[in-house]
Every structure is written in C-alpha cells, then in structure tokens.
Amino acid sequence: MEMMLCTSQTHQGFCSFLGKGRSVSISSTNVSLSRPFGGCGGDLGKLEWNSKRRDNKAIACYSVETVGTNSSNCFESNEKLRRLLKRRKLGEGFRHFEAMVQCGEIPDVDLCRDLVKAFCRSGQINKATRAVELLEGSRMVPDVKSYNILINAYCKAGEVQKAFDVVSRMSVSPDVVTYNTILQTLCETLKLNQAMEVLGLHLKSRKCTPDMFTSKAARKESGPQKAMKLLDEMRSTGLRPNVVTCNTLIDAICKSEGLDEGVRFLNKMPSHGVQPDRITYNIVLRRMCNTDRWEDALGLFEEMVKKPCSSPSVTTFNILINFLCRKGITGRAIDLLEKMPKHGCRPNALSYNPIVHTLCIENKMEEAIGYLDVMISRGYYPNTVTYNTLLTTLCKDGMVEVAIEIFNQLSTRNSCSPELITYNLLIDSLSKVGKTELATKMFEEMLKKDMKPDLLTFSSLLLALGREGKGVEAVKLFCDLEDLGTVGNTVTYNAVMLGLCKARQTDLAIDLLDEMVSKGCQPTQSTYTILIEGLAYEGFGKEALGLLEELCSRGVVKKSFTEQLSQKGAVTTL
C-alpha cells in the first residue's frame, strides 16, 4: 500500500491547477464561461490553502508510514472490509470503513477503490462521493483511479458539473484517463467546439497561460485544428494524450464537422505522436458506411490491412458486411466473411446474421440454410429479425415443414425465443396447408408460455376450422377469443359461420349473425354467401332463394351476386 506522497510534486503540479481564476458551469443546453478575477491571480488565498492542505496530508501519510501502518488492528480491519465487499454487503462495509477512518486506522487504498467502484456500479454515487470525502479527510489520500471511477460515474449520470467539481478538489494529479472521460461526456452532451473550449479552459488553468481555445482567432478554426491544439495543450501540462483521447475527438469531429474533417484528423494523428488503432478506423469506417461511401470504406479497409497496429477486428468486418448486405452487394459481403479467418478473425453472430437475412430476402434459401448450418455448428444463432425472416420466406415458398424443423431446433435459444409474430406466422402457414391439428398444438403452446394471442392468431385458426367444417371447435375457440378480451371482426365471424354451415348447423350460424350485428360488426357479401350456401346445403333451397330475393330488394347484394351463386349451383336462377 502506497503511503508516500511527494510534496514538491503535489505543490508544483496542482496548486495552479486548482486555481479559481475561472469558474465553469455546464448544462446540457449551454456552457457558461466566466472570469471573476483578472488573469489567474484572483484566488491565490485558496490556492495557498489547497497547497498547505496537500502538504499536510503528505506529512501525515509520512508519519503514519513510519509509526503504525503495520498494526494488527489495522490489518484485521482491512481484512474485515475485504470480506464484506466480497460478499457485496455494501452498507455494512461502508459503516465499517467509516468506523476505521474515525478510529484513525488506515484503509487499504485498493479496498477503498473497490468500495467506490461498488457504490458507483449500484448507482449510489452519493455514497461513493462520501467514501472519497472520508478518505480526503483522513490520513490517506485517494489514488487517481478512485477519483476516475467517481468522475466516470458522474459523467454517465449526466452530472458533468459534479465531475468537474471532483477534478477541482483532487488530491492527486489527474491523468489522461480523467480527461478522456470528461472529454467523451462533453462531446456527447455539447457541440464539439464547446466541449474543447470547456476542457481547454480547465487545462489552461493548470498553467495560467493565454487561452488558446476561446480567442477570436481560435473560434474560426476547424474542428481538427482545435483538436490538434487540444492535444498540444494536454502535452504541455504534462499529460500524454493517447489513442483513446483521439478516438473520442475523431468520433465527435465526424458527427459535428463531417466525415472529410474526420479523415483529415485521422491523417494528422501520427504527426502528433498518436498512431490510429483499429477502433479509430472503425469509427471512420462506420461513418463512411452510414453516408453510403462504401468504396472509400473498402479503400480504408485495405489501408488497415497493411498496418499491423490497426489490423482489422471482427467489428471491422461486421461493419462492412452489414453495410454491403443492406446495399444488396451480398457477394462482396460473403467474400469478406470468407477472408476473416485469414486475418485472425472468427466470424460471430453479427457476421452471419446480415448474410442469412439478405439471402432470405433474395429468396436464395439453399444458400441461406447453408450459412445457417455453419453458423449453428460454430455455436452462433440468428437474431429475432433474421430468424423470423428465415421462417417467413420458407413458409411463403411452401417449405412449412423445413420452417417447423428450424423452429423446433432453435426455439429454446434465447436469441431465437419465439415471439407472437413467430407463432402467428407458423400457425397461419400450417392452417393454410391443412395442418390444423399441428397449428392448434402450437396455439396451446403459446398459452402455456403465457403469451396472449391476438386477432390474427384467432383468425388463422378459425379460418382453418371453418374450412374443415369443425363448427363446434370454431365456436369454442371464438368464445376463448372473447374471454381474452379480443374483439372479433368480420373475418372471425364469417369463419365460425362457415364451420357451422358445413356442419349442417346453419340455424346457429344465423343466430351468430344476429349477435354480430348487435355488436356493431356489419355483415359483408361473403357473410350472406356463407349463409345462403349453408341453407342450400341443408336442403333449404326455397328459404335460401327467399333470403336472396330479400337481400336483392333491399340493395344489400347486387344482381351479379345472384348470378355468381347460380353458377356455383347454390340456388336456382331467379
């Protein structure tokens, strides 16, 4: 456990950084920059106090180092804290930590960091802040990693001003991770220029140098120019901007300044001592694909291949494969998929899904199933969209049995967990090819999974039962429909009537017609066709003819309707 702190480094590196020469206020909609004192000397009293505070902490740490850090009580207390954190007993762990500090015991810095991290992960940022404050008030100084965890939590919660407050009171030097975290959040919540102005102001306050970000000349500079100046400013304060810093900047430049400016920044990175990595290239590649510049994207990909420090990753290939499939350039996408192993990349679900999906849309089912088999053999499974597209295409092509086989094979996988749309598709397809019994079993499976059928589910099954003349089953299912709170429509009523008429129960079908009208559902010409044909089928030709005449006289049906029925032989010609 590190107990020593260099007082000269503390004083030299941070007194000026913590100066209040400028105050910065940040919100999601505006940035307020104010200069309450001239230059940087307006708050030297606070600077001196902060300096003494840090020097005193360093002396305290030194005295603890030389007197009692190896006491058995301190060791036992830290071990207890370790056990509590391991068991995720944060409340009890915090109370024990608080008691340790009050008793003058020195908490282990790694355990303190773990405590802060655990509170931040569970959304208890206030508790994490309190833990850091207790450390600051004790004989122990939090390390930069603990501060970074807290700053990151505030940034993720959208409380950027509080993150800056933490930076302003840090007892140790902020590092590049500190600024990368803040820069990323600023770029997400503000415009790029505003983000660089705010961060540049904080960097400037460490040196009390002229402001190179907010001057009139600087405002006219492009995003890449300002970004490069920001990198230089970070270096001049002793920080070493890394590729993470540049990746944050290039992403923001591409979004706010345009792709060409992003490419310009990419090309300038090596001259500022930072080599682009695969993430840098992926950011630009994704932007190129989003703006339909696929030829530029493929050219940049070829450039990546030649550079060992930025060799393409699985994500790189997936970006290109997904884009090429969306553009219908499936052949090029498959070529890239086949090249992945050569570059040390193993295709994953995101590599296969776009190809299987596109092949289904192009009705190349044999190839689609081939890639699906390879995908499954490697332990990957289609996502819901690809899964449903595959089943839909198979059913439309009459390959219902193949669709059911794939459904049974994949339905237990989380990524392929059947949804209502999946069941509706298969139930409808099975119903249309006369496999009503199997469709009914699938319907019952839905109910067992507490999945509520909709009107489309009932319509598919009722039509199948109606065509097969299963009137009793149709009526029972129709009652289930109403019990579940689903309102029937013309299609469902007609389906039940058809089943009843084919079962020689036309009288019940006529009763259902009365119920249909009473519930505000208007009969159609198909409704009357079913009833007239039902009467004729049961030998009531005279009654059927009388009903038809009445419908014609009321203008409910047209003369052509009568002719159609006559051709079908349902009734004699009028």
Percent of the chain with pLDDT over 90: 32
Percent of the chain with pLDDT over 70: 76
CA–CA distance, 180 with 368 (Å, rounded to integer): 43
Contact 117, 87 (CB under 8 A): no
Work out the pLDDT band at 566, boundaries 50, 70, 90: low
Q: pLDDT tens, 493-508?
A: 999 999 999 999 999 9
The answer, yes or no, to whether residue 31 has pLDDT greater than 90, is no
User: What is the reported pLDDT for 459?
Assistant: 94
**Coil/strand/helix, residue 143:** coil
The two structure tokens encoding residue 59: 């002396």
Work out the pLDDT band at 331, boundaries 50, 70, 90: very high
CA 191 to chain centre: 23
The two structure tokens encoding residue 445: 């499976």
The total number of residues shown for the chain amounts to: 574
The answer, yes or no, to whether residue 224 has pLDDT greater than 70, is no
User: What is the reported pLDDT for 208?
Assistant: 35
Beta-bridged to residue 23, according to DSSP, are 34
Sign of the alpha-carbon torsion through 370, 376, 379, 385: positive
Cα-based angle 356, 360, 365 (whole degrees, multiple of 5): 95
Q: pLDDT tens, 391-417?
A: 989 998 889 999 998 888 887 776 677
User: What is the reported pLDDT for 67?
Assistant: 38
**Could you state, in order of their start, the residue ranges of all structural domains in the chain?**
1-174, 524-568
* Residue spans of alpha helices (H) in 103-175: 109-121, 125-136, 144-156, 160-168
User: What is the reported pLDDT for 12?
Assistant: 36
Work out the pLDDT band at 18, boundaries 50, 70, 90: very low
* Residue spans of alpha helices (H) in 411-454: 420-432, 436-448
CA–CA distance, 448 with 193 (Å, rounded to integer): 57
* CATH class entry, domain 1-174: mainly alpha
pTM over 0.75: no
Mean per-residue pLDDT over the chain, rounded: 78
Work out the pLDDT band at 214, boundaries 50, 70, 90: very low
The answer, yes or no, to whether residue 419 has pLDDT greater than 80, is yes
Q: How many C-beta neighbours within 10 Å does residue 295 have? A: 9
Q: What is the 3-state secondary structure (H, E, C) of 365-399?
A: HHHHHHHHHHHHHCCCCCCHHHHHHHHHHHHHCCC
CA–CA distance, 241 with 243 (Å, rounded to integer): 7
User: What is the reported pLDDT for 325?
Assistant: 94
b/e for 46-70, b at 16 or more Cβ within 10 A? ebeebbeebbebbebbeebbeeeee
